[in-house]
Structure 1
Amino acid sequence: MVESEVDASASAAGEATAVLTAPLSLEGGLAAELKPANIVQRVLSLFRNVRPGADLSHFQLPATFNLPKSQLQLYGEGVYCAGEDYLSRCSRGKDSLERLTAVVAWSISTTRPPIFGFAPYNPVLGETHHVSSGSIHVLLEQVSHRPPVSALHATDDGGNVELVWCQSPVPKFHGTSIEATVNGNRQVKLLKFNETYEVDCPNLLIRLLPAPSVEWSGTVRIACKESGLEAELSYHRSRSFLGIGGDARCVKGKVFRSSSGSQETVCEIDGHWDRTVSLKDVQSGEVSVLYDAERAIGNLITPEVKDKEELSSSESAVVWSEVSEAILAKDWDKASEAKRQVEGRARKLDKERNERGEVWMPKHFSLSQDKNGNWECWPLEKSVRPAPIIVPSS
C-alpha cells in the first residue's frame, strides 16, 4: 500500500516552491490577460478529430490552454475565496428556512465566471491543496486518477460548519459543444443544528458553434432531510435566437416543502448569479436580496504562503509551480516541457506501483464506489488543521 505517490514525485523534482495565482472573480482577471487574439480558432482546432459523445476526462490540453492552477485549486477557491462570508451565515440562521436559504446563497457563491478556451491542470494522483481563510480550513486531495475524483473536507474553528465533497467531472464532446457534468456527493453540515444539506453542482457548458461561449447550466438541488425543506435552482440562458444572444447567467428557482407526494412552494428565487439574486416570500409577497455577486466574488484576494516550511510537496501550488511560472511568463516551450515532466513522473510512479502489485490509498480520505458507479468519501480526521497557505484579510 502506498499513501502519498505525488510526495515522492515532487521531492524528486527539487526544493518545494509554491506559485499562487489570482482566483477567478467577476472580472475574470488572470485568464483574460493570458487569452490570445485567435483563441476561438485555436479551440476549434483541438477537437477536429474528436468523435461526438467522446469522454474528455483524460484529454490532454496543450499548456497554452491552461490556467496557471490545478482543478483542486479551483474547487477550493469556491470555498475559501469570498468577499463576504456566506458560509458562516448558514449556521447563524434563526430557523430552518433561514438556514436553507443561506445554504442556497452560499451555493450560488461557489459559481465563478468561467473563461472560454482555458482549463485548469488535471490533478495528479495524491495531489493535495490546503488553505485557511479566517476561521475556515480547507483540504482537498485527488483520490483517484482514472476516473478523476477529487475529495474536499473543510471545518471551522467554532465547530459550526463542516463540508464533505466527493466530485468527479465527466466532460463529453457533442460535436458543437462540450458539457461537463460534475458527479458526486456534496454535503454542508450545520453541526449545532444536526442538519445536513445535500448540494448539487451545475454543469459547465462550452459552446463552440454557432457562437463560442462558456456558461453554467442545468438544475441544482439542495435538500435537508432533517427539516424537510428543499430548493431547486435552474441555471440557464435567457431567450436567444439560434443559440446567439441572450443572457447566459440567469438563475431561477424555488424553495419548497414536500409531503405526501405534493409540494408547497415557500419562496421563489430569481436573478443573475453574476449580479443579484432575489428571494420572494410567497405568502407575504416580501422580496429581499438573497445574494449579491459583487460583495461575494468581486475583487477576490489571492492566497499567499504563510509558512513555507510546512508546505507539503504534494501541494498543488508546489506540484505545478514550474508550469505556472512559465505560463505567467508566457514561455510556452518551457511550460509544455514542465507539464510533460509532472505528468511523466505521475505515469512512471503508477507503472512502478502496478508492477509491484501495490494498491495506492488516499492519505486524507477513505473512498468507495457503489454499484452504479457513484463515488463517496469520508475524511480520516474529524477536523482540518490550519494551513500553511492563507487568504489574507482585506
Structure 2
Amino acid sequence: MVVAMSSSEPTLKVAEGIVSSKAVLTSPLALESFASDQAEYKAPNIIQRIFSLFNKVRPGTDLTNFELPPLFNLPKSQLQCYGELVYCTSVGEDILSKCNKGDTQIERLLAVVAWSISTLRPLKFGVAPYNPVLGETHHVSRGSLNVLIEQVSHHPPISAVHATNDKENLELICCHHVVPKFYGASIEAIVNGKRRLKLLSHGETYVMNSPKLWIRVFPVPSTGWGGNVRIECKESGLEAQLCYKGTSFLGIGRNPRSLKGKILESSTLKPLYEIDGCWDSTVVAKEVKTGKTIVIYDAKEALSRLETPQVKDPNGLSASESAVVWGEVSQSILKKEWEKASKAKKAIEEKQRKDGRERKSRGETWVPKHFNLTHTKEQGWDCSPKAKCAPPAPIVASL
C-alpha cells in the first residue's frame, strides 16, 4: 500500500504510508495490485457479505443508484480510476504520447490500439470505487500532460474527461456513462459514451468505445472485461476491431483476459493486420500481406512500477477534488474503521441529496463547471470541454 498526502494538513501513519486529513491519494490500479494491493481493502467473509447485500435485489435491476457500504469500497473515487487510465503508466513509459509519434497512419493506429488496451486494468472481486458526487473533480498533471475530470451528471451518472498535452499536440475527450445491471449470478456494466483522441499534428481523430465489465458472483467469483471495441479514424480511412473474450460461466477454459482483432480499411474492409494476445501480458499484430509480427503492447512494461500521484500545491487543491471530498472516508477505510467510514460516507451522500432538493426548490438546474453536456436520441449523452486546454494541476504524477 502506498498513500500520498498533502503536506499542509495534520498527518498520521497508516500501514506503509502517510495519510493527510485533507487529501488522500492511494496506489494506482496496476498489474501487481491484482494479487496484493487491493487485498488490503477487502472486507472479511466477502462472498457471504455480497450474497446478503444483493439478497433483496431483483435480477435485471439497474444498480446505477445502488449505494455500497464502505466495506465494499476501494479508498478512491471512480473519477480517480478514470484519471489513472490516462496519467498512470510505468515510469519512463508514455503510451499516449507514442500515438502522435508514428511516421505513418498505420503506425499511429497501432499505437492508439496499444493505448486503448492499456486502459484495461485488473480489478479485484468484491470491491469498487466510490460513486462520484455531482460536481466532483479530479485534476492531475504528468509532465506536459494535464488531465481534468468532472462528474457532470448524477442521474444518470456521467463523467467527463479532458486531457491535453501542448508539447505533444494531442487532446483526449471522454464521456463515461456506466449502466450496471444485476442478473442474479452476475453484474454487467455497460460503459456508454465515446473516447476521442485527437492527434492535432496529423489532423486525425480516433473515436472508440469501451468494453463491458463483468462481475460474476456465482459459480466462480471473478471480474473481467468482454465485448467488442471499435477504433475508427475517418481521416485515414482505417479502423481497428477488437474482441475481448471475458470470463466463461464456470471460469475454466479460455484465458479470461485474451483478445483478438484486426486492422482494416474502412471502405473496403480489407484486412491489414491481425491482432492477438492478452491485455494483461503481450499483444502482437501480424501483417496480413507479409506475415511479419510485431509486439504492439507489453502490459508488464506499461503498467508495473506505477507510482502514487503527489500533491505538489496543497493550496491549489479544490474543495471538489476527489481526494479531498472522500479524504475522511478513505482514511477510515485504510485504518479499517468501518463505522467511522460509513458515517463519513453517509454525510457526503446526504449533502448531495440536500443540495439537490434545494436546487429543485429554487427551480435551478445543475450546470457543469468545465464541460458542456448534451443528449440526443441517436447519440446518447456526450460531453465537450469549455476550455481549449486542461490547465496544470496541483496534483502531479511521476514521468
* TM-score normalised according to structure 1 size: 0.93
On the 8 A contact 2:41/2:73 being kept in 1, the answer is no
Q: In structure 2, what is the equivalent of residue 4 of structure 1?
A: none
- Residue 193 of structure 1 and its aligned partner are, at CA, apart by 0.8
Confirm or deny that 1:303 pairs with 2:309.
Answer: yes
Structure 2 letter corresponding to 1:132: S
User: C-alpha separation between the residues in 2 aligned to 1:93 and 1:45?
Assistant: 52
SS in 1 for 2:27: coil
1:4-83 alignment runs, 5 A limit: 17-28=22-33, 29-83=36-90
Pairs aligned (count): 376
- Residue 16 of structure 1 and its aligned partner are, at CA, apart by 7.7
User: C-alpha separation between the residues in 2 aligned to 1:95 and 1:379?
Assistant: 29
Confirm or deny that 1:250 pairs with 2:255.
Answer: no
Confirm or deny that 1:217 pairs with 2:217.
Answer: no
Q: In structure 1, what is the equivalent of residue 350 of structure 2?
A: 344
User: C-alpha separation between the residues in 2 aligned to 1:35 and 1:341?
Assistant: 23
1:273-284 alignment runs, 5 A limit: 273-284=279-290
On the 8 A contact 2:308/2:397 being kept in 1, the answer is yes
On the 8 A contact 1:236/1:251 being kept in 2, the answer is yes
Which of structure 1's runs of 4+ aligned residues deviate more than 6 A? Answer: none
Confirm or deny that 1:326 pairs with 2:335.
Answer: no
Deviations 1:233-292 (A, max 9, x none): 111147x68443542110111101122xx4100001111111101111111111111100
User: C-alpha separation between the residues in 1 aligned to 2:47 and 2:21?
Assistant: 36
Confirm or deny that 1:162 pairs with 2:158.
Answer: no
Q: In structure 2, what is the equivalent of residue 359 of structure 1?
A: 365
Deviations 1:205-245 (A, max 9, x none): 0011111100011111100011110101111147x684435
Structure 1 letter corresponding to 2:87: Y
Structure 2 letter corresponding to 1:256: L
| Percentage of pairs with the same residue | 58
Q: In structure 2, what is the equivalent of residue 106 of structure 1?
A: 115
* TM-score normalised according to structure 2 size: 0.92
User: C-alpha separation between the residues in 2 aligned to 1:137 and 1:147?
Assistant: 26
User: C-alpha separation between the residues in 2 aligned to 1:384 and 1:230?
Assistant: 28
1:76-225 alignment runs, 5 A limit: 76-83=83-90, 84-158=93-167, 160-225=169-234
User: C-alpha separation between the residues in 2 aligned to 1:157 and 1:201?
Assistant: 26
Deviations 1:283-305 (A, max 9, x none): 11111111000111112110010
User: C-alpha separation between the residues in 1 aligned to 2:53 and 2:42?
Assistant: 16
Structure 2 letter corresponding to 1:381: A
CA RMSD of aligned residues (A): 1.5
- Residue 42 of structure 1 and its aligned partner are, at CA, apart by 1.5
- Residue 196 of structure 1 and its aligned partner are, at CA, apart by 0.5
Q: CA, structure 1 residues 236+223, in 2 after alignment: closer, same or farther (shift >3 Å)?
A: same
Q: Which runs of 5+ in 1 are unaligned?
A: 1-14
Deviations 1:279-337 (A, max 9, x none): 11111111111100011111211001000000000000000000000000000000000
1:377 aligned to which of 379, 383, 391: 383
Q: CA, structure 1 residues 42+373, in 2 after alignment: closer, same or farther (shift >3 Å)?
A: farther
Deviations 1:326-358 (A, max 9, x none): 000000000000000111111111111110111
On the 8 A contact 1:150/1:168 being kept in 2, the answer is yes
On the 8 A contact 1:210/1:244 being kept in 2, the answer is no
Q: CA, structure 1 residues 20+354, in 2 after alignment: closer, same or farther (shift >3 Å)?
A: same
On the 8 A contact 2:275/2:286 being kept in 1, the answer is yes
Structure 2 letter corresponding to 1:24: L
On the 8 A contact 1:16/1:313 being kept in 2, the answer is no
User: C-alpha separation between the residues in 2 aligned to 1:322 and 1:47?
Assistant: 27
Structure 2 letter corresponding to 1:47: F
- Residue 132 of structure 1 and its aligned partner are, at CA, apart by 0.4
User: C-alpha separation between the residues in 2 aligned to 1:361 and 1:285?
Assistant: 53
Confirm or deny that 1:272 pairs with 2:281.
Answer: no
2:374 aligned to which of 368, 379, 382: 368
User: C-alpha separation between the residues in 1 aligned to 2:129 and 2:246?
Assistant: 24
- Residue 44 of structure 1 and its aligned partner are, at CA, apart by 2.0
User: C-alpha separation between the residues in 1 aligned to 2:241 and 2:153?
Assistant: 30
